[in-house]
Amino acid sequence: MSVKNSILEIKDLSKVFHGIAGSSIHVLDGISFTIEPLENNNGLTSILSPSGAGKSFLLKIISAIEKPSSGEVLLNGKKYVKPGGGIAYIPEKASSFPWMSVSQNIEFALNLRDISQDEIKKRKEELINLVGLSGYEKHYPHEKSSGFRFRIALARALSVHPEVILLDECFKGLHNESKKELYNLIKSVIHELKVTFILATSNIPEAIELSSRILLMKRRPGKIIRQIDMLDFNKSHQGDNRHIELKNEIEKSFEAIQ
């Protein structure tokens, strides 16, 4: 039975790889959580863990790129078993066609939808403006930074009107100024389009800044060990140092389970 009014349900997902001679690697173990409508959270849930906990596998299972060994993913109460428009996935190295311009990359994604050329043109202009690429329509992604390529990938993901966008360590390796710009972009998309995001990250300050909720995940095997509701946390913890205190608390939690 699905949770009433949930957007996304992750129910008891596990992933086991079986090798030769009967060996096996247990990557994920009993992962369960629910994403509620935007009025009940402010749009971004972080899955926060040390490296090697299986976050990428979890996102790929949620997006139906990979299959779980057990468990299921429900989108609006229905099993989500093959990649489609409802859930979009952006990998760590955001993908785009390097031989196509910004405009052509976004137009290519829009052409996969059953809409008129007038609607494609209108929607393309809206997306280019939304992700901050106005004036760069004729530029090519291979000439630009990772942050620039992420903007293209985000526009392509948004072109299919997804309900959930999965971000797989997408801000890793960017310098602080670029990160801040993209953090603000994500917040703007949540506010304007009411899209829900799930971010997989190992960056504790990033999760604290962006998230309405943080799911702490241990490794070997990957398993959710704690949930932090940031709205409740901010209400109950006052002062300028509260996020530093939370960062230290999370670090100690991870040290304890190494």
| CB-based burial, 203-228: b 16+ in 10 Å, e otherwise | bbebbbbbbbbbbbbbbebbbbeeeb
pLDDT digits (tens, 9 = 90+) for 23-36: 788 899 999 999 98
Categorize the per-residue pLDDT at 238 as very low, low, confident or very high, splitting at 50, 70 and 90.
confident
Which of residues 150 and 39 earns the better pLDDT score? Answer: 150
Report yes or no on 30 lying in a domain.
no
pLDDT digits (tens, 9 = 90+) for 109-125: 898 888 899 999 999 99
Report yes or no on 5 lying in a domain.
no
pLDDT at 3: 59
Report yes or no on 7 lying in a domain.
no
Report yes or no on 196 lying in a domain.
yes
CATH (domain of 101): 3.40.50.300
- Among the residue ranges 28-37, 136-145, 222-231, 236-245, the one predicted with the least confidence is 236-245
Categorize the per-residue pLDDT at 255 as very low, low, confident or very high, splitting at 50, 70 and 90.
confident
How much is the mean pLDDT over the chain? 89
Report yes or no on 6 lying in a domain.
no
Three-state DSSP at 27 gives: strand
Report yes or no on 18 lying in a domain.
no
Report yes or no on 31 lying in a domain.
no
Domain of 205?
37-68+78-256
pTM over 0.85: yes
Q: What share of the chain is helix, strand, coil (3-state, %, to 5)?
A: 40, 25, 35
On whether the CB atoms of residues 13 and 73 are closer than 8 A, the answer is yes
Query: What's the token pair of residue 78?
Result: 């229905």
Our count of domains for the chain comes to 1
Report yes or no on 8 lying in a domain.
no
